[in-house]
Structure 1
Amino acid sequence: MIKFHLGNKGSGANGAGFERNGGDAIKSGRSVFFRSVLLILLILGITFLYPIEKIYLPLDIPSLGEVAPDDIISPFDFPIYKSPEELEHEKQVILANLKPVLKFDTLESGVVLREIRDWFERLENIQMTALSVEEKLAAIKASNPSLTQSTLNQLLIKKSYQQIKNTALAALDSLIAGGIVNDRNTLPLKNSALAIINYGDSSKTLMRESLPDTNTIRTQAMERAASLAGKNPDIAAAAAEIAAMFAKPNLVFDKQATEQNRITELANMPLTKGMVFSGEKIINAGERVSEFHRDVLVSLAKYRSQVNPGRGLWEILLPLLGRIFFVAFPIVFFYQYLYYFKKGVFASNGDLLLFGILFAGEVVLLHVIMSQSFLSPYLVPLAIASMLTTILFDEEIGVAMTTSLAMLVGVLSGFKLNLAFVTFIVGVVGCYSVRHVRQRHDFYRPMLYLCLTYGCSVYLIESLKLTPIAQLWPHVALAVTNGFISPILTIGLLPLFETAFGITTDITLLELSDLNRPLLKRLALEAPGTYHHSIMIGTLAEDAAETIEANSLLARVGSYYHDIGKMLKPEYFVENQLDAGNKHEKLTPTMSAIILEAHVKEGVELAVRNGLPKSIIEFITGHHGTGVMTYFYNKAKQEDDINADIDDFRYPGPNPRSKEVAIVMLADSVEAASRTLDDPKPARIKSLVHRIFLEKLDSGLLENSDLTLRDIVKIENSFVRVLTAFFHRRIKYPEKKEAVS
């Protein structure tokens, strides 16, 4: 098949195949760097999304609850590591039993003892005076107003005084030496029944309830005084009262020391719970895998990843490199497919980033669900990426994405065929069920197909695995639920991807094709000739696009908007002039060319202001390409054959870079020229269309459009057929003769 200087097919509305001249973009240094970084980050991110020990875990080990097909023997000595759940439980136990550390304040203790001695010295001075008993009582009372009367009386008895003094000093010294807290009920770490007292050079651990505090100091002082005073309760009571009055807290919470204890205890927490020796059998063939077996196998992989049990560096790196290779292969396969078969898409860094997001999103969902043992892997909505890719691009790319994703899922699930098979089957069905989606309610069809495909696939796979009925039907139910939810999620995500990456789907195109949209209604009112011209071009372009299997919807919608720039100066375009005369007759050819050229620029500005997507703007900029305004150029040469520069009469372009824009360019010229035919017979229409096509080919305007000679012939025949039908002759009916009276 002959092609005219092939361009590079890129992404567009559901199979639109926009041309982007991707060759230069593919080879540019910045694009190469971006693609390389994207691939490396994607591959390494997926590889290391899973814990490092899982990379070293043998790929063929059975899952929890499965039956081991073979004996598994330990290749070397290794410890059995506690599971994360076990470590977390032990950590919580340690934290719950963490004891608060109380710091003994030596300085405060000395101050308290000095204060009570000074007080007793003042009492002795009072007793040595010549004051009366009443005056001495008043003086002692003034020195410490809180003393009870019985204690005051005991202090005036010389025989009792010295015994009270000695007992109070000893009791207070005992209390201070042990330590006193302000309020033991307000100490941190209330879960612990114990507390540590740090005396500086030594420490001891006490029950929290036995710590003296300001609330219990009187009772504590009484116990000590009673043991010191012997059988004299009055002296014991007086001494206890005095000791309690002078006692002050000398134990303070030491936050730093407590935190250090916490760190030390957590650091000393044992991480293992046993040993497995070289040659020891881990599990027997035919034995069901238990939690303990799983812990042992994970410990083997973890130990293998952390140390070198008598092997070389290469043997340590090999499992890691192997896992990276198996993750990289499906991703590189997909991007290589784009490079060879969808160069326009591959040339777009935005599109490549979009695919990376789809890969990463599906893998993260797979990881989250499979990391929870109580969740079924059939809950992972793996069809979303396939459906989004098909709607945003085409079903070919969608199937390629599905194939790569199925391989990747197989690798990440431990080379288990069941999930990879379901991913592929459901993904392919998803691709083909959404390839003609043009309206929101069209998603009901893929919803039905996916529910049936998910349910049947899972049922067949689990039946082949001889899964018990009690476990099989829940899997099927979850799979059907997945099939129901996936299209709903796809609908929700679709506008986000369209907006973020500037991709126009058939759904958006159908919305833009509504002739009641404000911009098209304005075109109909302000430039009615241009409006009807655009509608006719839409009919021509849609039929031609269908004949060559291009995006007919995109071609039609692009036709509606391609000339919206004319509405700003409609009277300068012949289809809007009617009987008002041609305004260009009063203008120079150069000025006329400037006005005609401006409708492209003004059309782009209108499109941007009204939020039209780039795929539609390409019709505005490309429907004339870099073609020459031949009429005004020839007129300029007649007026001044020396200074007329052909580039002054050339549209800015660019030339069409997709089949759809090229079709609209041809339809625009053909429709306008066909209106000049005096006698539009089929032969004349065919001759006119063929001549215009040859002019476009000779001028090189179609070089980047990816149209083949076969396509051009089909388009030409389509135009002739539609125009012939439009200009067909009507039967001339004879006029009625009036009855002669």
Structure 2
Amino acid sequence: MKKKSKSWKISFQHLKAFKFYHVIIYVLLGFIMFGIMFSNVKPEKVNVQLFSNAEKTIVAPHSFEDREATELLRKEAADKVPDQFIRDKDKAYQQIARVENLFEVLIETKNKIAELEKVPETSPPAEEEADSSQSQEEPEPIMLTDAEKLKLLEEALEGQVPDRWENELKEENLLFLLGSKEADLTRYKNASVTAINNAMSRDIHTIEDASEAKNLARTELSQSGNVPSVIINISSISVIQNVIYDSALTQEKRQQAIDTVEPVRISQGDTLVKAGQFIDRETYRLLTIAGFVNQSDNLAPYAGLLIIIGLMIFALVYLFKNIDTTIHSKNTYLTMYLLIFSITLILLKIFSFFQTLNTTEIGYIAPVAMGAMLIKMLINDRIAIFSSIIFGICGSFIFNMVPGAMNYTVGSYLIISAVASVLFLNQHNRRLTILQTGLFVSFINVVTVIALVLLTNRDLTGMNELLDLGINGTMAIGSGVVSAVLTIGILPFFEVGFGMLSTMKLLELSNPNHPLLRKILMETPGTYHHSVMVANLSESACEAVGANGLLARVASYYHDIGKTKRPHYFIENQMGRANPHDKLPPQTSKNIIIAHATDGAQILRDHNMPKEIVDIAAQHHGTTLLKFFYHKAKEQNENIKEEEYRYPGPKATSKEAAIVGTADSIEAAVRSLNNPTPDKIETIVKAIIKDRLQDGQYSDCDLTFKELEEIGKSFCETLQGIFHSRIEYPKGEEEES
């Protein structure tokens, strides 16, 4: 069984080393998202026939405008607007001008006739003709006939009066007016103008209005006295309609009425036809617009889904590009992400199947926070936050009620729930913390549900509404609790399967009953005590500079496990026995001491310990020099090279490894002091850190000078607490004797 497990792991390692492995993972992510959400965007196909009964209730798959109904309403609104008319004031001025023109022509013709009928003046006779001229008679005046007078007047009136005045301007009436005095004509004109102006000062819209106005003018002239009937008739004829049709104003009013008509819109989810309802022409028309008639395989919804998935994948590519891969490879993180993401989406899909129970908010119970917490604990915070957004987007599709639509309510809820879990899970070193996070998420979920209900302005006074709110709140609480339980249950599988070192895994490894710790305790008790001291020093120092203190503590427990191979060759385990190195040459002693680092790393690998702990065990001495044996060998042979008495390394590649190695040296040095005072402790701590710094042991990790100073202070404080001075109690008489 072990061989199969190892062969599988080896095969998986080879697969992860494949050059385009990350491309395969991203493609698989896209396929999984598309496969899970495919049915949620696939257009629903229904059998729709005119003049038949609907087989099922059909709702609008998307919002659209009913243009035909909109145009019909606009036409009705425009038809309701009556024709627009305006009063033309120029009409009255035109008619008055015609009457005035008539009288001016009469007066001019009358003056012309008088000029023609005037007696011509005669010149005085000459002297020689005086006698004969006296005998001649005076010239007689020229009298024009009525025909001649009418001819002159008609010539003057030609084109000056409307044709409809012909009946009133008969010969006898014209002769009467020509025979009237100029003063009378002026009086007639003034009376006629006044009557016309008064009559046309009102709106004359219809024939009835015109007839009434004409009568008004007649009455006014008749009551003024001494106005001939011909003037009354002409004045009456001059009164015409002064209200005319305004096409521009009519069009403007109708356009305003059209603009007030709101487009007829069918909202997404609106019922188009109920099950068993008769499909008439109007219903059939709506179904045609919605796309249920003559359905074809439309690829637009799938293209839209692929675009959204592509955008999310590109964002993930960017985030994983900048991920820290000092411990695990990027492909390992990608593989874990693929599994966590798939599990989360599958759970969302499973819960969506229960949406047919008339509970449209079934998405409130979806344990989306589980995926966010796992991603944070196993990968990092940034990817967990963005994944929360992706879960919300995918959930809005998965929990939709209409194909291709998005359930924004559930989508928003899922995003808030997942983000809350990531933000609250800041210290995940205990299972209790995950449960506390689940309870916090439940609280946030309930608050979110209440907020979403209030946003809809729903009446909450009824029992049904309160019952729905209670059910949704219960599902929201269940979501947080279920997420926490699933996280605790699934996390160990990822830790074992991928060799991930989570906080809970570290806590399990720190259990004194662990086989390797019991081995150290039973076979090398001195080393065990030394490791516990190093663990205390390392944890405090790591926490001082923001490193993983728990990792440093657990790694300290195991860092010297290689000493269990030859326990008595290390001074802390000799227990008063003779030191075997006194009888060995320096070269042999060096090999035994140096081997404990490589032996320890190999023992840890054989027991499938996490890579982080194996690395610290292998790196805690770096390439430091075994000074005691080097100087001992130097005394025997001056040609001995320093490189031969150095640990093979590698140097510390993480803050935790550097701190554990430094704490290991400091604890051994301080323990060798007879009376470790604070000054002596501080001197040793500074000397060891300075020596390691000058020796280049920190060159492969990212410790700064400021952090080294903080680490030194932490070591001093911890050691002074351990080796504090004690009160010397007085001895009893028996002891003195």
Q: Deviations over 1:317-360 (max 9, x none)?
A: xx655533322333432442343353447843111111122222
Deviations 1:585-640 (A, max 9, x none): 22222211221122123323432444433332222112112333233233333323
For normalisation by structure 2, the TM-score amounts to 0.60
Larger mean Cα displacement after TM superposition, 47-56 or 372-381: 47-56
Distance 1:496 1:636 in 2: 51
The letter of the residue matching 1:398 is A
- Which deviations, in whole Å up to 9, do the C-alpha atoms of 1:653-712 show, x marking residues without a partner? 332222222211110011111123344222222121112112222233223332222222
| Paired position in structure 1 for 2:543 | 546
Match of 1:629 in 2: 626
Q: Give the Cα separation in 2 of the matches to 1:417 and 1:654.
A: 54
Which of these residues, 422, 436, 444, is aligned with residue 431 of structure 1?
422
2: CA distance, partners of 1:558 / 1:530: 14
Distance in structure 1 (CA, Å) of the matches to 2:330 and 2:587: 38
Structure 2: which amino acid aligns with 1:47?
F
Q: Give, as a single letter, the amino acid of the residue that structure 1 aligns with 2:343.
A: G
Deviation track 1:2-44 (CA, whole Å, cap 9, x = no partner) reads: xxxxxxxxxxxxxxxxxxxxxxx9xx99565211221122124
1:515/1:585 CA distance change after superposition, 3 Å: same
Pick aligned residue for 1:336 from 300, 313, 318: 318
1-structure distance, mates of 2:28, 2:327:
20
Judged with a 3 Å threshold, the aligned counterparts in structure 2 of structure 1 residues 345 and 624 are, in CA distance, closer, same or farther, namely closer
Contact 2:372 2:385 in 1 (8 A): yes
Q: Is the 8 A contact 2:37 2:394 kept in 1?
A: no
Q: 2:296 is matched with which residue?
A: 303
Residues 327, 408 of structure 1: 8 Å contact kept: no
Q: Could you tell me how far apart the structure 2 residues matched to 1:598 and 1:396 are?
A: 41
Distance 1:65 1:716, change over 3 A: farther
Equivalent residue, structure 1, for 2:26:
39
- Aligned-partner SS, 1:677: coil
One-letter amino acid of the counterpart of residue 717, structure 1: K
User: Which residue is 2:374 aligned to?
Assistant: 388
Distance (Å, rounded) in 1 between the aligned partners of 2:519 and 2:38:
60
Q: Partner amino acid for 2:447?
A: C
Q: Which residue of 2 aligns with 1:54?
A: 41
Q: Residues 388 and 490 of structure 1 are in contact (CA less than 8 Å); yes or no, is this contact kept in structure 2?
A: yes
Equivalent residues of 1:390, 1:435 under 8 A apart: no
Greater Cα offset, 673-682 or 563-572:
673-682
User: SS at the partner of 2:594?
Assistant: helix
The corresponding residue for 2:242 is none
Name the aligned partner's letter for residue 690 of structure 2.
L
Q: Counterpart of 2:223?
A: none
Question: Is the 8 Å Cα contact of residues 364 and 414 (structure 2) preserved in structure 1?
Answer: no
The aligned counterpart of 2:599 is 602
Q: Which residue of 1 aligns with 2:660?
A: 664
How big is each residue's C-alpha offset from its partner over 1:381-401, in whole Å with a ceiling of 9 and x where there is no partner?
211111112333454553343
SS at match of 2:593: helix
Q: Which amino acid aligns with 1:71?
A: E
Is 2:712 the counterpart of 1:716? yes
Are the counterparts in 2 of residues 534 and 563 from structure 1 also a CA contact under 8 Å?
yes
- 1-side partners of 2:287 and 2:488: how far apart? 40
Of 505, 510, 513, the match for 1:513: 510
CA distance in 2, matches of 1:378, 1:66: 24
Q: Which residue of 1 aligns with 2:199?
A: none
**2:452 aligned residue:** 461
Q: Secondary structure of the equivalent of 2:727?
A: coil
Paired AA for residue 528 in structure 2: Y
* 1:71 matched residue in structure 2: 65
- Tell me, in whole angstroms, the C-alpha distance in 1 between the residues paired with 2:628 and 2:322: 43
Change in 2 beyond 3 A, CA 1:695/1:473: same
Amino acid at match of 1:289: T
In structure 1, the partner of 2:391 is: 405
The one-letter code sitting in structure 1 at the alignment partner of 2:296 is: Y
Could you say if the C-alpha distance between residues 653 and 478 of structure 1 is closer, same or farther in structure 2, counting changes exceeding 3 Å?
Answer: same
Q: Is the 8 A contact 1:509 1:557 kept in 2?
A: yes
Residue 332 of structure 1 aligns to a residue whose secondary structure is helix
Contact 1:513 1:557 in 2 (8 A): yes
SS in 2 for 1:352: helix
TM-score by length of 1: 0.59
SS at match of 1:374: helix
- Amino acid corresponding to residue 37 of structure 1 in structure 2: I
Is 1:673 equivalent to 2:664 in the alignment? no
**Contact persistence 2:38–2:302 (CA under 8 A):** no
* CA positional deviation for 1:719: 0.2
How far did 1:554 drift?
1.5
Between the aligned partners of 2:528 and 2:287, the Cα distance in structure 1 is 72
Q: 1:132-147 alignment to 2 at 5 Å?
A: none
- After TM superposition, give the deviation of residue 513 of structure 1 in Å: 1.5
Does structure 1 conserve the Cα–Cα contact (< 8 Å) formed by 2:623 and 2:649?
yes
The 1:373/1:686 distance shift into structure 2, 3 A limit, reads: same
Partner of 1:363: 345
Alignment-derived partner of residue 478 in structure 1: 475
Instruction: Label 1:427 to 1:640 Cα distance change in 2 as closer, same or farther (>3 A).
Output: same
Q: Is 1:638 matched up with 2:635?
A: yes
Tell me how far apart the structure 2 counterparts of residues 442 and 713 of structure 1 sit (CA, whole Å): 32
Match of 2:694 among 687, 693, 698: 698
- CA distance in structure 2 between the aligned counterparts of 1:739 and 1:505, rounded to whole angstroms: 54
Asked if the contact 2:287–2:293 (Cα under 8 Å) also holds between the matched residues in 1, the reply is: no
Q: Sequence identity of aligned pairs in percent? A: 29
Query: What CA distance in whole angstroms lies between the structure 2 residues aligned with 1:290 and 1:530?
Result: 80
Question: Does the 8 Å contact 1:333/1:404 carry over to 2?
Answer: no
Q: Which amino acid aligns with 1:327?
A: I
Q: Unmatched 5+ residue regions in structure 2?
A: 1-12, 45-56, 69-262, 275-285, 460-464
User: Helix, strand or coil: the match of 2:298?
Assistant: helix
Q: Indicate if the aligned counterparts of 1:409 and 1:419 stay in contact, CA closer than 8 A.
A: yes
- The whole-number CA distance in structure 1 between the counterparts of 2:616 and 2:548 is 13
State whether residues 570 and 576 of structure 1, in contact with CA within 8 Å, keep that contact through their aligned partners in structure 2: yes
- Provide, for residues 517-567 of structure 1, a one-character-per-residue CA deviation record: whole Å limited to 9, x for no partner: 332233222212111110100110111122122222211111111111112
Task: Single out whichever of 618-627 and 599-608 deviates more from structure 2.
Answer: 599-608
Alignment of 1:116-515 (within 5 A): 284=266, 288-290=270-272, 297=290, 299=292, 303=296, 305=298, 322-340=304-322, 342-344=324-326, 347-370=329-352, 373-374=355-356, 376-393=362-379, 395=381, 397-410=383-396, 414-466=405-457, 469=465, 471-515=468-512
Give me the whole-angstrom Cα distance separating, in 2, the residues matched to 1:300 and 1:621.
72
Change in CA separation of 1:692 and 1:408 when aligned onto 2, cut-off 3 Å: farther
CA–CA distance in structure 2, aligned partners of residues 344 and 282 of structure 1: 60
Instruction: Give the Cα–Cα distance (whole angstroms) in 2 for the partners of residues 632 and 697 of structure 1.
Output: 22
How far does the alpha carbon of each residue in 1:209-236 deviate from its partner, in whole angstroms, 9 at most, with x for none? xxxxxxxxxxxxxxxxxxxxxxxxxxxx
Residue 527 of structure 2: aligned partner: 530
Distance 1:630 1:335, change over 3 A: farther
Q: Deviations over 1:427-465 (max 9, x none)?
A: 122224444343434443223222222222122213313
Provide the aligned length of Structure 1 versus Structure 2: 491
Specify whether residues 68 and 33 from structure 1 end up closer, same or farther in structure 2 by C-alpha distance, changes over 3 A only: closer
Q: Is the 8 A contact 1:535 1:560 kept in 2?
A: yes
Shift in alpha-carbon separation, 1:72–1:336, aligned structure 2, 3 A: farther
Q: Name 1:729's counterpart in structure 2.
A: 725
8 Å Cα contact 1:447-1:487 kept in structure 2: yes
The residue type paired with residue 543 of structure 2 is E
d(CA) in 1 for partners of 2:368 and 2:558? 38
Q: Retained in 2: the 8 A contact 1:331–1:404?
A: no
Shift of residue 724 of structure 1?
1.9
**1:361 to 1:517, Cα distance in 2 relative to 1, 3 A:** closer
| Residues 716/69 of structure 1: CA separation in 2 closer, same or farther (3 Å cut) | same
- Structure 2 vs 1, CA of residues 70 and 603 (structure 1 numbering), >3 Å: closer, same or farther? same
Where in structure 1 are there 5+ consecutive unaligned residues? 1-24, 58-62, 75-280, 307-315
